Amino acid sequence: MLRRAIENLGNRTVQGIWRMGFAARFFFAVLLHSGTAFRRFGLTIREMYFTGVLSLIIILVSGLFVGMVLGLQGYETLQTYGSEEALGILVALSLVRELGPVVAALLFASRAGSAITAEIGLMKATEQLSAMEMMAVDPIARVVAPRFWTGVISMPLLAALFSAMGIFGGYLVGVQLIGVDEGSFWAQMQSAVDFEQDILNGVIKSVVFGVAISTIALFEGYDAPPTAEGVSGATTRTVVTSSLAVLALDFVLTAFMFRGLN
């Protein structure tokens, strides 16, 4: 009994390490075969439509509501200290530093990451990737790399749009609904938000999240057992692993970027 448990544990550990090694090799293979994604940028643009443009609705609507909630909650807290004019700063900094990149990444993982995994997994299950290999076309270069770079490029754009819609949502609730002074709202935001410290760091975060989500989604699809159950399991793993990776990476990046910042 105990021996079997130890064997199972050892087996799972070896499998886990093997999978991580395979994922790392996969990631470097994608980077190595990325030439096609740029030489034939049309392939990448086409995928940007499917993963980026079609994610816009969920990103924009979520951004609007998150901003509106921030406006309400922020006002409630700030008015306790008589500083409701600082609502613009609170909304903007929360969004560009944290909520924009993180929530947009979580939504992107659920909406686009799962779709990428399912697509690649089904292409594998229906032998489309094998067919491509047999036609002397490398599926990593032709199918995987354009989707990888699509995620990396789309993610900061989607995060920026999320933040913009969130600020607009905060403005609607704070200024138009509650009546915070419009001049203070925008002026304080403009003076407090630093391009390098806040916006650029937010962009860096979303690029890192884009790399993580794209790699996980593509790897899970490429490694999925070629069965209905296999593809379904891979899709679930993509959402779970990507979400956890985004939150963990966010902590690490925040610790490096904002440590000791006044």
Partner 1 sequence: MSLRGKGFLQTDNLVEIRDVAFGYSARQILKGINLVARRGQVVAIMGSSGCGKTTLLRLIGGQIRPGQGTVRVAGQSVGELNQADLYRLRRKMGMLFQFGALFTDISVFDNVAFQLREHTDLPEEAIRDLVLMKLNAVGLRGAARLMPAELSGGMARRVALARAIALDPMLVMYDEPFAGLDPISLGVTGNLIRRLTDTLGLTSLLVTHDVQESLKIVDYVYFVSEGVIVAEGTAAEIRASTLPYVHQFIHGEADGPVPFHYPAPAYAEDLQLGGRRA
Residues near partner 1, by CB under 8 A:
126-128, 130-131, 133-138, 142
Token pair listed for 180: 């915070």
Residue 134 C-beta: closest distance to partner 1, Å: 4
Residue 241 C-beta: closest distance to partner 1, Å: 26
Residue 127 C-beta: closest distance to partner 1, Å: 4
For partner 1, which is the closer residue by CB, 73 or 128? Answer: 128
Which residue do the tokens 């980026």 mark? 52
HEC readout, 106-142: HHHHHHHHHHHHHHHHHHHHCCHHHHHHHCCCCHHHH
Q: Name residues whose C-beta falls within 8 Å of residue 142's C-beta, 6 or more positions apart in sequence.
A: 36, 43, 132
Token pair listed for 126: 């229906």
For partner 1, which is the closer residue by CB, 146 or 170? Answer: 146
For partner 1, which is the closer residue by CB, 128 or 184? Answer: 128
Question: Looking at residue 194, what DSSP letter applies?
Answer: -
Q: Are residues 108 and 116 in contact, defined by beta-carbon separation less than 8 angstroms?
A: no
For partner 1, which is the closer residue by CB, 1 or 134? Answer: 134
For partner 1, which is the closer residue by CB, 63 or 139? Answer: 139
- Between the alpha carbon of residue 39 and those of residues 9, 16, 137, 139, the distances in Å are 46, 35, 15, 16
Residue 47 C-beta: closest distance to partner 1, Å: 11
Residue 157 C-beta: closest distance to partner 1, Å: 23
Amino acid letter, 46? R
